[in-house]
Structure 1
Amino acid sequence: MPVIVLEARDFTSPIFLVRTWALLCSCTTFSLVASLELEEANHPPRTFWIFCMFTWCFFFSLTLSIHILSVIQFHSLLPVSWKNLTVSVAVLGALMNLSSSVVFCWLLLDHQHVRPRPVAAAVSSCLTVCAYISESIVLSTRTQEQRGYLSSTPGLLKLLQLWGGCQMVPLVVEVVRVAPDEARNWSTWVPGVSYGVCILTVVVTLVVILGDLVGRCLLPFDRLLAAFSLTGLMLYMIATVICFTKVLVLKQAKHSVPAELVIMETAICSMTLLAYTVDFAFSVKLLCDRSHM
Structure 2
Amino acid sequence: MPVIVLEASDFISPLFLVRTLEVLSSCSTFSLVASLEPSELNNNTAHSQHFHRFWFFCMFTWGLFFTLTLLIHILSVIQFHSLLPISWKNLTMTVAVLGAMMCLSASFVFPWFIVDHQKVSPRMVMAAVAACFTFVAYSSESYILRIQTHEQRGYMGSMPGLLKILQLWGGCQMIPLAVEMTCGQPRQPFWQLWVSCASYSVCIFMSLVTLVVILGDFAGRCPLPFDKFLAGSSMIGVMLYMVATVISFTKVMQLKYNSHSYGLVIIEAVLVSITLLVYTVDLAFSIKLLCDRSHT
Question: TM-score of the superposition, structure 2-length normalised?
Answer: 0.94
The Cα of 1:110 is off from its aligned counterpart by: 4.4
Deviation larger for 208-217 or 37-46: 37-46
Residue deviations 1:160-211 (CA, integer Å, cap 9, x gap): 00000000000011122223454x6111111111000000000000000000
Asked if the contact 2:19–2:137 (Cα under 8 Å) also holds between the matched residues in 1, the reply is: yes
CA distance in 1: counterparts of 2:37 and 2:115, whole angstroms:
17
The Cα of 1:107 is off from its aligned counterpart by: 2.1
Asked if the contact 1:108–1:114 (Cα under 8 Å) also holds between the matched residues in 2, the reply is: no
2:262 pairs with one of 256, 259, 264:
259
CA distance in 1: counterparts of 2:265 and 2:181, whole angstroms:
9
Alignment of 1:51-200 (within 5 A): 51-108=57-114, 110-182=116-188, 185-200=190-205
Which letter maps to 2:196? P
Which residue is equivalent to 1:222? 227
2:285 pairs with one of 242, 262, 282:
282
Alignment RMSD (CA, Å): 1.5
Alpha-carbon spacing, 1:131–1:142, altered in 2? closer, same or farther (3 Å): same
Unmatched 5+ stretches in structure 1: none
What percentage of residue pairs aligned between the two structures are identical?
Answer: 64
The Cα of 1:111 is off from its aligned counterpart by: 3.3
The Cα of 1:42 is off from its aligned counterpart by: 7.8
Deviation larger for 108-117 or 50-59: 108-117
Which residue is equivalent to 1:238? 243
Which residue is equivalent to 1:31? 31
2:273 pairs with one of 253, 270, 276:
270
Alignment of 1:2-41 (within 5 A): 2-40=2-40
Question: TM-score of the superposition, structure 1-length normalised?
Answer: 0.95
Asked if the contact 2:42–2:116 (Cα under 8 Å) also holds between the matched residues in 1, the reply is: no
The Cα of 1:251 is off from its aligned counterpart by: 3.8
CA distance in 2: counterparts of 1:95 and 1:87, whole angstroms:
12
Unmatched 5+ stretches in structure 2: none
